[in-house]
Amino acid sequence: MNNPDTRVGVIGGGYAGMAAAVELAAQGIPVTVFESAKQLGGRARGVEYNGLKLDNGQHLLLGCYRDTLRLIEQVGGDIERDFLRLPLQLDLHGHFSLQAPRLPAPLHLLIALLRADGLTWGERIKAARFMLALRGMNFRLPQDITVAELLARHGQDADLTLKLWEPLCIAALNTPIRKASAQVLLNVLRDALNRTRADSDMLLPRLDFTELFPQRAAAYVERHGGKVLLSCGVEAIVPGNDGIDLITTQGAHTFSHVVCAAPPVVAAKLLHPIAELADAVRQIETLEHQPIYTVYLQYPAHVRLPHPMLGLHRRISQWLFDKGRIAEQHGLIASVISAEGIHQDLSQDELANKVISELREEFGIADGPTWFKVIAEKRATFCCAPGLQRPAQQTAHPRLYLAGDYTAGDYPATLEGAVQSGLRCAALLTLPAGPRMKS
Ligand SMILES: Cc1cc2nc3c(=O)[nH]c(=O)nc-3n(C[C@H](O)[C@H](O)[C@H](O)COP(=O)(O)OP(=O)(O)OC[C@H]3O[C@@H](n4cnc5c(N)ncnc54)[C@H](O)[C@@H]3O)c2cc1C
């Protein structure tokens, strides 16, 4: 039985905050979400442009994102209707192609590696051996190292790295291989490639990211007696004897418990004045960030790519998405450029023009786009370095919890990591012997 005095304030209506709110509301706990922006979703949000629904960046979910997919269904989504589901496939246009056959995991991957186009027989065998070695190690390293070091130790040569491991690592961790944590990459490979075949499916949403979960989650929270307040940023967290006050742009509110699900930079600012949280603040402040750029280009409706999603080899555009094939937005192409790189030195026009040239050279798209839109998320994710100490969801204050993709967990900065952190906060808060305070 939940303590009737429990009232929870959640700071931030991104995937982490809304996951915590849904879980608490489902248990009958009164919850209020404070979101500073006019809309929910945070770093995974819908953006309107020229009458079209875009996202702040093209996202991809994996079949192994079980908590996110479960929550989407819990709040009224339908996974098969909301997503285009593709079985594991990697295609670097004209250079490399791998497609998993309909066989149980991990056999599907081993066969895919042994049949991959664009690798020599020697490279295919090296890649398959590497996967078997990781499985033999239970995907655990005695000590975390960089992905580049792990690949070198397992004889993955430069060509194999460029065609397979580097694109995979950047897509999964948004961190270059020379800086990326091998252990976190192995956590993702373990969950995506080693359990069931459906875990490695790639799910491309047909809805924008605000509609997909946070908006439905807000309706769910409200149906269960909670509140979701937009344009209502929290300016200070003030712990007191009778609860925790949240000072917002629209007045003060007192709660028995607070889940801070703001992005790391904001969380550090809000937590800074609370002396007992100094260690958590220090951990947050040491996080570095990595960008993601998305270039949307609207071509005439007849323009199509050969696949809904495909990569380019040694180009500025890393992944291309044909939004016509995915979401009936015909002629709309999204080019995604993840992690740090030379693209950061280009102006938005220069970047878009590079992408346009690449599309012309690779696919013979002679038409120009009628418009383009570059969305640069400069702090898209934390830089997922080896041995990173991420702050725990349970803080040194017994009634204040931290949620967010940057908090402790197996995953890199992903929707699943964010959702899992929110669920963990809800679980900690509702532990039977958990501490309670009158509001
Ligand atoms: C371009 C891009 C592409 C990505 N691609 C993928 C992908 O393909 N797959 C994947 O799994 N992940 C991807 N990610 C990562 C994923 O989007 C994030 O990990 C996830 O959305 C983080 O959610 P969060 O709730 O932890 O934080 P956020 O989304 O940052 O949510 C925090 C919320 O707090 C709000 N807020 C801020 N300050 C305050 C305040 N003072 N008071 C109240 N509210 C406040 C913010 O407005 C925001 O809504 C991508 C990220 C980006 C940016």
For tokens 């849904």, name the residue: 22
Phi, psi of 314 (to 5 degrees): 55, 45
How many angstroms separate the alpha carbon of residue 42 from the centre of ligand 1?
A: 4
Ligand 1 closest atom vs CA 375: 1
How many angstroms separate the alpha carbon of residue 334 from the centre of ligand 1?
A: 19
Amino acid at residue number 381: T
Ligand 1 closest atom vs CA 233: 42
Structure-token pair, residue 346: 């280009």
- From the CB of 405, is ligand 1 less than 6 Å away? yes
Domain boundaries, the chain: 8-51+59-63+207-287+385-429, 88-200, 289-382
Q: How many helices (H) and strands (E) does the chain have?
A: 16, 20
| CB 105, CB 199: distance < 8 Å | yes
Pick one of 1.10.10, 1.10.3110, 3.40.50, 2.60.40 as the CATH number of 88-200: 1.10.3110
Q: How many CA atoms lie within 13 A of 123 on its CB side?
A: 17
Count other C-beta atoms under 10 Å from residue 72's C-beta. 24
- From the CB of 39, is ligand 1 less than 6 Å away? no
Ligand 1 closest atom vs CA 263: 30
How many angstroms separate the alpha carbon of residue 16 from the centre of ligand 1?
A: 8
Nearest CA to ligand 1 atom 15: 414
Helix (H/G/I), strand (E/B), else coil: 414 = coil
- From the CB of 16, is ligand 1 less than 6 Å away? yes
Helix (H/G/I), strand (E/B), else coil: 108 = helix
Alpha helices by DSSP H, 314-439: 323-327, 348-363, 415-429
User: CATH number of the domain at 8-51+59-63+207-287+385-429, please?
Assistant: 3.50.50.60
- From the CB of 292, is ligand 1 less than 6 Å away? yes
How many angstroms separate the alpha carbon of residue 132 from the centre of ligand 1?
A: 34
- From the CB of 12, is ligand 1 less than 6 Å away? yes
Q: How far apart are CA 20 and CA 427, in angstroms?
A: 9
214 by Cβ neighbours in 10 Å (0-12 / 13-18 / 19+) ranks as: buried
Ligand 1 closest atom vs CA 19: 25
Q: How far apart are CA 191 and CA 236, in angstroms?
A: 38
pTM reported for the whole predicted model: 0.96
280 by Cβ neighbours in 10 Å (0-12 / 13-18 / 19+) ranks as: buried
- From the CB of 374, is ligand 1 less than 6 Å away? no
Q: How far is CA 282 from the centre of its chain?
A: 23
Nearest CA to ligand 1 atom 3: 57
Pick one of 3.40.718.10, 3.90.660.20, 3.40.1360.10, 3.40.50.170 as the CATH number of 289-382: 3.90.660.20
Specify the DSSP element, H or E, that contains 266.
Answer: helix 264-271
In tens digits, the chain (439 residues) has pLDDT values of 567 789 999 999 999 999 999 999 999 999 999 999 999 999 999 999 999 999 999 999 999 999 999 999 999 999 999 999 999 999 999 999 999 888 888 888 899 999 999 999 999 999 999 999 999 999 999 999 999 999 999 999 999 999 999 999 999 999 999 999 999 999 999 999 888 989 999 999 999 999 999 999 999 999 999 999 999 999 999 999 889 999 999 999 999 999 999 999 999 999 999 999 999 999 999 999 999 999 999 999 999 999 999 999 999 999 999 999 999 999 999 999 999 999 999 999 999 999 999 999 999 999 899 999 999 999 999 999 999 999 999 999 999 999 999 999 999 999 999 999 999 999 999 987 544 443 3
